[in-house]
Amino acid sequence: MMDSGIDLWFNFGLTLCLLLLGFIFGTIAERRHFQSIAKREKELSYIKIYTHKNIPEYARAVNEPLVSGFVVLSTDYLKSFLSSVRKLFGGRIRSYESLVKRSKREAVLRLKEKARTQGAKAVYNVRIDTTSVSKGRNRAVVTVEAFAYGTAVK
């Protein structure tokens, strides 16, 4: 009887420690990713992004004008668990907002990096599609896919 109580507390403590470690390392990784995004956005700020379809007549298309950026990101398990609790009561889920914001910004950065390799100065008709890839059996951790695409010009 006493052993099962100790086992229960050990398992509970171990689970709590793993969740806490996941939260700490997930937060550190997220912070580093935001810093990396900010640095790369600054470096690539000379490549302009436009959402309108009409490309000016003075612009010349690059060799392969269709450029794209693709990324899949996920949250840590603790943030997913806390978000599940938040869903019960309603309201903003900031960890999901952060995840979607990071994925969109990263996808646009990857699009700009591909445009840079082709000597482009602008990308027109930029579109960003996002979707959740974690539908199905394992919905414990939320995963978001972002795909940005457009037409690169000089």
Radius of gyration of the chain (CA): 21
| Structural domains counted in the chain | 1
Residue 73: give the domain boundaries: 2-153
Provide the b/e sequence for 22-37 (b: ≥16 CB within 10 Å): bbeebeeebeeeeeeb
Q: What CATH number should be reported for the domain holding residue 41?
A: 3.30.110.70
CB 24 within 8 A of CB 16: no
Tell me the whole-structure pTM to 2 decimals.
0.81
| pLDDT tens readout for residues 31-69 | 999 999 999 999 999 999 999 888 888 888 777 889 999
CB 151 within 8 A of CB 124: yes
Choice among 15-19, 99-103, 142-146 with the minimum mean pLDDT: 15-19
* Average pLDDT of the chain, as a whole number: 85
| CA gap 108, 69 in Å, rounded | 6
